Structure 1
Amino acid sequence: MNDRPAIDWVQEHRNAAAREAALAVVLAPPPDSLQTVSYTSAGKTLVIGSPDLALRCADQLCGVLPVTVLLTGPAAQPASPAYQALHCSEIELSGWLGAFDARWRDAGRGVLRREGRFDLVLDLSPAPLIGSHQKPHGYFAPGAGDADIAAAIDSLAQMIGEFDKPKYFRYKDRLCAHSRNGQAGCSACIDICSASAIASAGDLVRVNPYLCAGCGACTTVCPTGALAYAYPGAPYTGDRLRAVLASYAREGGLDPVILFHGAGQGSSVVSMLDANSEGQPYGLPARVIPLELHHMAATGIDVWLSAIAYGASGISVLVTDEEAPQYADALEDQMGMAQEILSALGYAGVHFQLVRAATPAGLGQALANAPAGVAPRQAATFHLAQEKRNALDMALDHLFRHATLQPVHVPLPPRSPFGAIAVDKASCTLCMSCVGACPSSALMDSDAAPQLRFVEKNCVQCGLCANTCPEDAIALVPRMSFADTWNKAVVLNETEPFCCIRCNKPFGTLLMIQSMLGKLAQHSAFQGNLDRIRMCGDCRVIDMMQSNLAGDGGKTAGRVA
């Protein structure tokens, strides 16, 4: 007997049939246009660890692979002549399959520093020498368990030859908001990467495709879409969602929830829960539709809000023990932001759920409270765009048009990638430093007049404008705008042009000249010659030369030649 109360079993069976039909929908994968990354391994293996354990493993490997051993302590017995064993300390390790670089102090030769390159690494250290959550291909740190060590040795023996993997991402540097002119902007991708594959490279970032494990978290948190997931891209995921939800609705299913999960432990947990749901108090609810991704962090607010627009009542994302903890934090932030938008538009109920579970029982208990939010009365039919901001535009437009509430602005939490800026007009001199720093063309000047203009649609709240402003006149205002001016250039500040007092050519703004007069009045170059600040660069030079020729200490300043 099932003790779950208040269940409409007729609708439950209808939902189950609708889910079966939805999961039967098969879409042809997108054309294979992915670039690949190639590794080459000759099997040259480095074993690192305490003598007893490291030598035992080296003995097993040396008949299959060329082995070098770095021993981190004195050995009770000599090493086999089949491989080189070195007593060492201060080991450093970096790299990936076919290209690991190791450096160490050779205890056998005093403090001599040595180094070598290896294809594979078996790290038996108490704490892994490569500390990233996602380890590079070819690196094994199995711990002290005999079964795990045996599995690592078996895997190492198979890793000779050439190997390809997808290049999981696409990077458009023109969209990157990482830095400008030495000012820090967005570092979301660097902060979240669990493989240490992303690093700063001046104004841009550099992604190491050999270290990238394809989780897609960097693309999920990227505010601009400079980093886009390609395994597969968002358009294919959108097509799957639209087809699955349309099929579910046609078969009479109600309140569908999309359960995103990864392809590893996540798939195993979902499959075990589904297989044992019959008669269980916490099985897989019939309205929950599992959708496998290469990694659970590969989708974010653009895909989720599109799914709601297509008719989903909610989105659940399964986080297991395999995933890095920062992924869950980032997804929770995005869920909070998306829920703020939907609630402000009048879509009642909870629409998002982050499920932290490593067992079928834990997942089943969480899904008993799966989201059941209100979806639009009419399901959207748009195709999800590859560009992240364009995809969001389409989803938000549909949600707004069918909303019961239509606010002009929805306040969002700090660090949200949408919003406006507030300019202190009394402090702003219209120097346009912020325009030069803006990576997304949200801030612009004007050819016709001294104006600072702003297009809110383009703003990603990276903070480069505020960090660059010499007057500290800019503050970020995180929000989602549905105003008519959202996609139009609005004037944030303007002033009169200032014309040179010698040649009458406009060369600055009234606010800028007033600011310079206040700041440079005591500067040695302008003492007694403040009128030079009111001159353009050419006239200032001419005035200084005339003053020097006349030998009058600058008394000719301001005269017209």
Structure 2
Amino acid sequence: MNDRPGIDWVQEHRNAAARAAALAVAPPPPSDSLQTVAYTSAGKTLIIGSAEIALKCADQLCGVLPVTVLLTSPGGVAAQPAPRSYSALHCSEIQVSGWLGAFDARWRDAGRGVLRREGRFDLVLDLSAIPLIPAHQKPHGYFAPGSSEPDIATAIGELAQMIGEFEKPKYFRYKDRLCAHSRNGQTGCTACIDICSARAIASAGDLVRVNPYLCAGCGACTTACPTGALAYAYPGAPYTGDRLRAVLASYKGEGGLDPVILFHGAGHGTGLVSALDANSEGQPYGMPARVIPMELHHMASTGIDVWLTAVAYGASGISVLVTESEAPQYAEALEDQMGMAQEILSGLGYAGVHFQLVRAATPGGLGEALANAPAGIAPQQSATFHVAQEKRNALDMALDHLFRHATLQPEYVPLPPRSPFGAIAVDKGRCTLCMSCVGACPSSALMDSDTAPQLRFVEKNCVQCGLCANTCPEDAISLLPRMSFADTRNKTVLLNETEPFCCIRCNKPFGTLLMIQSMLGKLSQHSAFQGNLDRIRMCGDCRVIDMMQSNSPEGGGSHR
């Protein structure tokens, strides 16, 4: 007898049958070949640690791999019955960076003053109490097992196998034209850099650079990216969308109610889900039949675009499993996105809670959390569209369907700060229409006009990166995070305009009336313009001519 209270067992059995049918129709992964990243290892191994542990590990590996040992403990090297076949050096200030087949190490020899040495290695066994590479997701070929003897033994076993050619998928695609990282020396979006647990992403001027050798394939950068410049490719969102559409349509067709998609990562996540599912019968907190597990390569590889698409397809909720093996910043980012997605659904009148971040380390903890799995309202008519590869386009299709079938249809839904959707407010009293914001905008949300001094805006394109506000010399721009459903969302709207100003010498338009008035106020005491304020009213060419004529022995002063 099952002692879970408050369960409609007739519907529970119907849901279980519907779930089984749904999981059976999930489409296979796409056959498209992915780009790969290749590694080459000759097995040259660096071991770092105290003499007591590091030398024992070196003795085990030296018959299989070429080994160098950097000893971090003081004192001499203990004598051994036979000479060593490897170098063992007492060192300090050790630094390591790189990846499988390309690790660079630098160190200072103990007792040798300022002498520094360096070397390149294929593999690293770091036995330090605190790993020398602090990234949560360690590079391939780098092992930091700590002091646990079983973990050290496992690492030694894996190291012995790491000679030869290796490859992994290139997990991401990067479209630099969409990147909102930086413009004109001003930093805008750093979401991908901040969240990467492998430290594989770095600033590269106006763009970012992703090191494919360090990338571990978690996909968190693509989830956090507001523009879709970084897109997940293992597999892409269109395949995940196909899975969701097929699974949810089958579940509904078989009479299942209130389906919840449980996204979980492979490995530890799959282990927890499988253990809970296998032992649900008779347990107080088993796997609810309406919860449909869906494995991802990593739980952080999907976000608001896929989640809202799932709701549009008919899901009552989305649960995402976070285990102890994932980087802590992932949970924070997913919570932010869930809060934003819930604000949108609530603003449209879809009642209930639709999103749940499940933190669990045991099957029992997972089952207890899923007892309160989301049960929000979904559209009565399920969507049938295919998920687009472009993130913003995929989100637009989901939002369009959700809006058309919503009980409330507001023009705007306010969103929390840092949301990647919204508008800007321009203080017309301060704005001089210098157009620096237009030059800084990475997404073509801000535009000028070829025919008149106008600042124009398309809200759909805005990613709230803040580059316009950071660039504005008059501090005239502020961000308005919100989701717009207004008719003007995809239209060009006028934010500010003024009269053009014509050069007082040649009558050529070269600026705006507001800009010239501002410059007159700010530069009237500048040495270059004292007594020559009319030069501010001249275009660049005429200003130079006027200065040259004034400095000439025959100069006749300013010309108007």
With the shorter chain as reference, the TM-score category is: over 0.9
What corresponds to 1:324 in structure 2? 327
| Distance in 2 (alpha carbons) for counterparts of 1:126 and 1:302 | 41
> Could you tell me which of 478, 482, 489 is aligned with 2:481?
478
SS of the aligned residue for 2:413 comes to: strand
Residues 1:36 and 2:32 aligned together: no
Tell me the CA shift for residue 550 of structure 1: 6.2
- Alpha-carbon offset, residue 545 of structure 1: 2.9
Equivalent of 1:159 in 157, 162, 165: 162
Counterpart contact for 2:276–2:287, Cα < 8 Å? yes
The alpha carbon displacement at 1:4 in A equals 2.6
Q: Distance in 2 between matches of 1:75 and 1:23?
A: 62
Aligned partner of 1:406 in structure 2 is 409
Partner Cα distance (1:546, 1:159) in 2: 76
Query: Residue 150 of structure 1 corresponds to which residue in structure 2?
Result: 153
Trace 1:3-402 onto structure 2 (pairs within 5 A): 3-73=3-73, 74-75=75-76, 77-78=78-79, 80-107=83-110, 109-402=112-405
Which of these residues, 444, 457, 465, is aligned with residue 447 of structure 2? 444
SS in 1 for 2:520: helix
Q: How far is 1:527 from its partner?
A: 1.5
Q: Distance in 2 between matches of 1:90 and 1:236?
A: 47
Q: What letter is aligned with 2:388?
A: A
C-alpha distance in 2 between matches for 1:427 and 1:263: 53
Deviation at 1:502, TM superposition (A): 2.0
- Of the structure 1 ranges 401-410 and 111-120, higher mean CA displacement relative to structure 2 is found in 111-120
Is the Cα–Cα contact under 8 Å of residues 37 and 167 in structure 1 kept in the other structure? yes
Q: Is the 2:435–2:448 contact (alpha carbons within 8 Å) kept by the matching residues of 1?
A: yes
State whether residues 145 and 152 of structure 2, in contact with CA within 8 Å, keep that contact through their aligned partners in structure 1.
Answer: yes
Distance, in Å, in 1 between the alignment partners of 2:68 and 2:488 is: 66
The separation in 2 between residues aligned to 1:476 and 1:424, in whole angstroms, is 12
Is residue 531–residue 558 contact of structure 1 (8 Å, CA) maintained in 2?
A: no
Residue 29 (structure 1) shift = 2.0
Task: Identify which range, 294-303 or 538-547, moves more after superposition.
Answer: 538-547
How far apart in 1 are the matches of 2:77 and 2:86? 17
Residue identity opposite 1:50 in structure 2: S
Q: Contact (CA 8 Å) 2:3, 2:283: kept in 1 or not?
A: no
Letter of the structure 2 residue corresponding to residue 350 of structure 1: V
Rounded Cα–Cα distance in structure 2 between residues aligned with 1:545 and 1:154: 79
Which residue identity lines up with residue 482 of structure 2 in the other structure? R
Q: Alpha carbon RMSD of aligned pairs, Å?
A: 1.2
CA drift of 1:52 comes to 1.1
Cα distance in 2 between the residues matched to 1:98 and 1:550: 72
Q: Distance in 2 between matches of 1:196 and 1:51?
A: 30
User: What's the secondary structure of 2:297's corresponding residue?
Assistant: coil
User: Following the alignment from structure 1 to structure 2, what is the Cα–Cα distance between the partners of residues 544 and 91?
Assistant: 61
* TM-score, length basis structure 2: 0.98
CA shift at 1:83, angstroms?
Answer: 1.0
**Do 2:2 and 2:281's aligned partners in 1 also have CA atoms closer than 8 Å?**
no
1:52/1:75 contact within 8 Å kept: no
Q: Indicate if the aligned counterparts of 2:4 and 2:283 stay in contact, CA closer than 8 A.
A: no
Deviation at 1:539, TM superposition (A): 2.0
- Percentage of pairs with the same residue: 85
The SS at the match of 2:551 is helix
Supply the distance in 2 between the matched residues of 1:262 and 1:549 (Cα, whole angstroms).
77
Contact 1:282-1:365 within 8 A present in 2 as well: yes
Name the counterpart of 2:558.
Answer: 557
Per-residue CA distance 1:114-157 (angstroms, 9 max, x = gap): 11111111111111111100000001111111111111100000
CA deviation profile, 1:288-339 (whole Å, cap 9, x unmatched) = 0000000000000000000000000000000001100000000000000000
3-state SS of 1:14 partner: helix
Partner of 2:489, secondary structure, is: coil
Give CA-to-partner distance per residue, 1:164-194, whole Å, 9 cap, x none.
0000000011111111111011000000000
Within 2, Cα distance between the matches of 1:109 and 1:542?
Answer: 66
1:30 CA drift (Å): 1.6
8 Å Cα contact 1:86/1:108 also seen in 2 = no
Distance 2:141 2:542 in 1: 67
The answer as to whether partners of 2:3 and 2:282 remain within 8 angstroms in 1 is no
Is the Cα contact below 8 Å between 1:428 and 1:473 reproduced in 2? Answer: yes
Deviation at 1:544, TM superposition (A): 2.6
Q: For residue 243 of structure 2, what is the amino acid of its counterpart?
A: R
SS in 2 for 1:258: strand
2:114 and 2:554 map into 1 onto residues whose CA distance is 70
Counterpart secondary structure, 1:22: helix
1:516 aligns with 2:519: yes
Q: Offset of 1:242 from its aligned partner?
A: 0.4
Of 539-548 and 217-226, deviating more is 539-548
Q: Distance in 2 between matches of 1:174 and 1:450?
A: 26
Given residue 70 of structure 1, which amino acid in structure 2 is its aligned partner? L
The whole-number CA distance in structure 2 between the counterparts of 1:521 and 1:76 is 76
SS in 1 for 2:487: coil
Amino acid at match of 1:164: E
Stretch deviating more after TM superposition (106-115 or 442-451): 106-115
| Counterpart code for 2:530 | Q
Counterparts of 2:76 and 2:316, CA distance in 1: 63
Distance 1:130 1:228 in 2: 26
For structure 2, list consecutive stretches of 5 or more residues without a partner in the other structure. Answer: none
What residue identity is the alignment partner of 1:456?
E
Q: Is the 8 A contact 1:434 1:466 kept in 2?
A: yes
In the alignment, the residues of structure 2 paired with residue 547 and residue 39 of structure 1 have an alpha-carbon distance, to the nearest angstrom, of: 68
> What's the counterpart of residue 435 of structure 2?
432
How far, CA to CA, are the matches of 1:344 and 1:309 in structure 2?
15
Contact persistence 1:270–1:360 (CA under 8 A)? yes
Give the partner amino acid of 2:348: L
Q: Conserved in 2, the CA contact under 8 Å of 1:52 and 1:76?
A: no
Q: Which residue of 2 aligns with 1:505?
A: 508
Aligned length: 557
